[in-house]
Amino acid sequence: MNLLEIENLSISFEQYVKGMRKRIINVVHDLNITVKEGEILAIFGASGSGKSLLAHSILGLLPYNAKVSGNYVFKGKSYNYSQLCTLRGREISLVPQSITSLNPLLKTKKQINLGLNSYEKSKADKIFKDFGLSEKVYDLYPHELSGGMARRVLVSSAIVKDVSLIVADEPTPGMDDDSLEEITKMFKALRGQGKSLLLITHDIDMATALADRIGIFYDGTIIEVEEACKFKGQGLELKHPYSKALLRALPKNGFLGPDEDIKKCLK
């Protein structure tokens, strides 16, 4: 069963240029995607292609000058963009990409415990221990945390609430191998509980190991969604030329450029 369906999503930004003239920048266009219940869907693509805008749009977090069109269907109910804020923190949570999302004026414990009941606070304590974060971390401000520690705090705050969908925007940079393994186990456990995860990442190895399906983001839209098992070798089982070119360019494939057939299809 589908948990989230996004239909014909387009995102543009209105900006002032010289004088009082305005211009419209179209960033995401004609995007369609579905996240199933109990599924991990990874989104993979180049930097600046619009992946984070997709994540922020799902939670109604785009800036004031964003123009959004399209339809969101969550648990069978249709929402427009302005209504998505009603789901934020209740049904959908976000692991932000930037560690500066942490409030610099609040210690970690106060920050994590905001809006939590007693059961959720004890759950947060357990998650901290699972992530190798000691009680001393609770008394630290964000600027006193290492990059990996701050990432674990962000993930903890997103998964402590009993939500149906977690949107994780680049959740793992700066983490050591042990922390990465623990978070991978945690995400798999959440899937086992019937929760869904939309994982935005540049780590194709993590995506193939963790996700059920992988979507490729290119030029402001999703061009292909396939089972994770098809993202192997040089991508011969994939359909879109850009998807194949991405896999060919990976270090493990010797940084191969696109072959002649692929070049003809790319912009």
Are 216 and 248 in the same domain? Answer: no
pLDDT recorded at residue 52: 93
pTM over 0.75: yes
Please list the rounded mean pLDDT of every run of 10 residues in the chain (267 residues).
Answer: 96 88 93 97 89 95 95 97 94 92 94 89 89 89 91 90 94 81 87 94 89 95 96 88 87 73 59
CATH assignment of the domain containing 75: 3.40.50.300
Query: Looking at the domain assignment, is residue 131 inside a domain?
Result: no
Q: What is d(CA 259, CA 250) in angstroms, rounded to the nearest whole number?
A: 14
Residue pair 247/231 in contact (Cβ under 8 Å)? The answer is yes
If we measure between CA atoms, which residue out of 164, 210, 201, 204 comes closest to residue 183? 210
Residue 226 burial (10 A CB sphere; 0-12, 13-18, 19+): middle
Query: Looking at the domain assignment, is residue 140 inside a domain?
Result: no
DSSP for residue 1:
-
pLDDT recorded at residue 104: 95
Q: Domain span at residue 71?
A: 1-91+209-231
Query: Looking at the domain assignment, is residue 36 inside a domain?
Result: yes
pLDDT recorded at residue 235: 84
How many CB atoms sit inside 10 A of residue 183's CB?
24
Are 241 and 225 in the same domain? Answer: no
* Beta strands 213-218 and 40-45, pairing class: parallel
Q: Domain total for the chain?
A: 2
Query: Looking at the domain assignment, is residue 190 inside a domain?
Result: no
What is the longest distance spanned by two Cα atoms in the chain? 61
Query: Looking at the domain assignment, is residue 122 inside a domain?
Result: no
Query: Looking at the domain assignment, is residue 21 inside a domain?
Result: yes
Query: What is the DSSP annotation of 195-247?
Result: -EEEEEES-HHHHHHH-SEEEEEETTEEEEEEEGGG--TT-TT--SHHHHHHH
pLDDT recorded at residue 214: 97
How many CB atoms sit inside 10 A of residue 76's CB?
9
If we measure between CA atoms, which residue out of 96, 74, 95, 76 comes closest to residue 85? 74
Query: Looking at the domain assignment, is residue 64 inside a domain?
Result: yes
pLDDT recorded at residue 250: 83
pLDDT recorded at residue 263: 61
Query: Looking at the domain assignment, is residue 134 inside a domain?
Result: no
Are 39 and 18 in the same domain? Answer: yes
Residue 57 burial (10 A CB sphere; 0-12, 13-18, 19+): buried
pLDDT recorded at residue 38: 96
